Structure formats: C-alpha cells, structure tokens
Structure 1
Amino acid sequence: MNENLNLLNQLVTKHLGTEVQIEIRLNELTVTVPAEQYYSSAQKLKEISDLGFEQLIDLCGVDYQDYADGTWSGLRFAVVSHLLSVKNNWRLRLRTFVPNDDFPVIESITSIWNSANWYEREAFDFFGIIFEGHDDLRRILTDYGFIGHPFRKDFPVSGQVEMRYDPEQKRVIYQPVTIEPRELTPRVIREESYGVK
C-alpha cells in the first residue's frame, strides 16, 4: 500500500469512526457505511478539510441479487459513489447498502454534491432506489410509461411491454411483448483449412 493511500485510510478511520468498513484492493479505498450514517459520512468526507472530497464524480446503483454465484446473503441493493479530492490528490469509493429490498429508500446527497442529481435519478430509473429528499426524482432515461426497473437482475430480458407505430391509429401504441423466448445455439462454420498454414 502506498503512503498516500495509507494516510487516507488513517484519516477516514479517524473522522468516520470504527463502525465503517474499509477495504483496500487494487490501490483503491472502499468505505462501506451503514445506511443511517450515509448522509453524515458524505457530509464529513466533503467538509472536513483533512479529507476534502469536493467532487462527486459518479454515483450508481448495484443489484447484488445472485452475486458470487448465489452465495450472497446480504442486502440486495447498494448505492456506490466515487469521490475525488483535487486538493489532496486522492479518490475514494463510498458504498452503502439500502435497508429494504422490497422498497429501497436512502437519503439523497444532492444537497452535499449537486452533481448527484442526475446520477440519483438514473439509479432510481434503472434500479428503483428512492432517494429521499431529492427535489426532482423521476425517470431520466426510460419512457414515462415504462414498467419496472431494467437493471434489476429479475427484470425480464425481453421486457414487459413493447412500443410500435400503428398505421391505422396513426400513433405509437404500447402492447404486451410479442417476442417468443428461444434458445439460440450458435452454428460454427469453418473452412477445412482454418488455422492451418
């Protein structure tokens, strides 16, 4: 572990306490905080000058269903944020698991980093994670009438509805999916001299 990463590890432990889990892998620091400390930890990471994470560069949802070949027994959904301190020249990954798998709700951090706005909307749209306190939490990439959350691992690959233009009605209509699931077995065709010089 390099000296810079070691210092960051010590500072995070000092300011966030021993209740957080810190993992160092591939020269990156991941801090996992309990959901009830997510907002306060994010606030400390930004406002404490020793840490100085002034930029949130990414935020995403993660679905851990069937993780590790189905051996995962923890909570299903997590929110992962990637933070940057330009002043101190270090990065950090902040992760928290959302407490309720059936109705995932976590506090919004848009009041700390306004760049979290669209990222949280995307996590809501694709995973169904609700960010409490977000000013404008609505779908950002899927259609307004879209049913479900397409990045959840239990979402059907073919979707649930399809959209097509109906020339008789002269408008776009929604209908149940008409694609029949099938198993494709690729047929490999090679010439007899393939790979021979």
Structure 2
Amino acid sequence: MTDRAAPPFAVDPTALRQAVADTLGPLAKRVDLVLDEITVTVTAADYMKAALTLRDAPECRFDQLIDLCGVDYSEYRNGAWDGPRYAVVVHLLSLELNQRVRLRVFAPDDELPVVDSLMDVWPAVNWFEREAFDLYGIVFEGHLDLRRILTDYGFIGHPFRKDFPVSGEVEMRYDAERQRVIYQPVTIEPREITPRIIREDNYGNLH
C-alpha cells in the first residue's frame, strides 16, 4: 500500500506565507504562520483593500469565502488582552491554487464596533455578516440588509458577547388574553449548574 499523493497545487505553508506577505506589503500589520495555518491581520482602514488584493492577486486568487465570524477578546488570556475587544475573522480558499488563508480585522471602537462589509468582494458573506451582527453587535458598513438572522427581531443584546447574561434579559411568550406575542423580563430562577461530582465531596462514593 503506497502513501497517498499530495493534492495538486499544494503549497508549502512557509512559501505561501511569504507570498501573501509580499503581495499585501504594508496592508498587512502581521502575517503569522502557526500549525501550518496562515493568519493575516489588517487594520479596519485597510480591510477592504486587503480583501480585494487577496482575491485578485495572481499569487493568491482566494476566490471563495468559506466562513466569517465575530470574536470577543474581552476575556482572552484570562483578561490579559489589552487590544481592541471585537474582531472579524474570515476564512478564504483558492480553488485554483488549493490554498487557504485566514484574514482578521479588529474594530477600532469597542463601544460601536464597525468594519466594512465584504459583500462587494464575496457576495456569499451576506448571511455570515448578519450572524456576526446579531450575535456580537458588529456593524458591517455597506451591508444592504443588516438585520438579525438567528434571534428574534425584538431581541435585546448580543448573546455571544462575553458579558451577556447566561439567562438572557427578556423572554417571549404568547398571551392568550391579548392574543399576541409579548415580551417580559426573564422569569427563570437562578439554579445550581455546577456538576454534582464537583460540588459534592463524596458523590458516587469516589475517594
């Protein structure tokens, strides 16, 4: 039995990192290679231009957006993080060159995180940006239909933020007398969620 051959056009990660760094030049704040994965970090001001370069440059040709998500760094490294709180992370794929890259941008304002929308670069980003807006409150400037996609239209807050309460803030129910859906403060009573094996010294007679 012979070893499976490497896929065609597979690129050495070190060589790809250098090619991406050379192509982006000053548009990239840093280009990291960790575990054979490349992460490009750019400023919000250079985000759109860097995205267009990664899509169109001959050495890159990242024609497909695989994923976009938000990140809340407020508790990163047990609170030791001192950079901007919110980031947007994009995963890109070049079908032609069989290579991948991760693009990361930090929103400069923690109170109102705003970055450019990439809908004009990769239209498939539409629902991904709506999800990041819904869950993290990140605003994508230039998005033509930026509204919630997972939570209800009347939902208050952004549930993937680290400071969002575990039980939420409001709940929705159908009121039979009013014959409509109403919102009210959460009525879930606090409960113990620590596993018994941790909170009870002799649980299961384990010694």
Question: Structures share a fold, TM > 0.5?
Answer: yes
Q: Secondary structure at the match of 1:123?
A: helix
Q: What CA deviation, in whole Å up to 9, does each residue of 1:122-159 have, x standing for no partner?
A: 10111111001111111111101011111111111111
Match status 1:69 vs 2:97: no
Q: Secondary structure at the match of 2:196?
A: coil
d(CA) in 1 for partners of 2:85 and 2:20?
26
Report deviation, 1:168: 2.6
1:10 partner letter: Q
Q: Choose from 3, 12, 36 the match for 1:4.
A: 12
Report deviation, 1:94: 0.3
d(CA) in 1 for partners of 2:46 and 2:193?
47
TM-score (norm: length of structure 1): 0.91
Report deviation, 1:43: 0.2
2:41 partner letter: T
Asked if the contact 2:17–2:32 (Cα under 8 Å) also holds between the matched residues in 1, the reply is no
Q: Aligned residues, how many?
A: 192
State the identity %.
58
Q: Choose from 88, 94, 100 the match for 1:91.
A: 100
Instruction: Map 1:13-52 onto structure 2 (within 5 A).
Output: 13-18=21-26, 19-52=28-61
Asked if the contact 2:14–2:33 (Cα under 8 Å) also holds between the matched residues in 1, the reply is no
List structure 1 runs of 4+ shifted beyond 6 angstroms: none
RMSD value over aligned CA atoms? 1.8
1:9 partner letter: R
Unaligned runs of 5+ in 2: 1-9, 198-202
d(CA) in 2 for partners of 1:83 and 1:72?
26
Unaligned runs of 5+ in 1: none
d(CA) in 2 for partners of 1:21 and 1:94?
10
Q: What CA deviation, in whole Å up to 9, does each residue of 1:25-68 have, x standing for no partner?
A: 11100011111110000000001121100000000000001110
2:109 match = 100
Report deviation, 1:102: 0.1
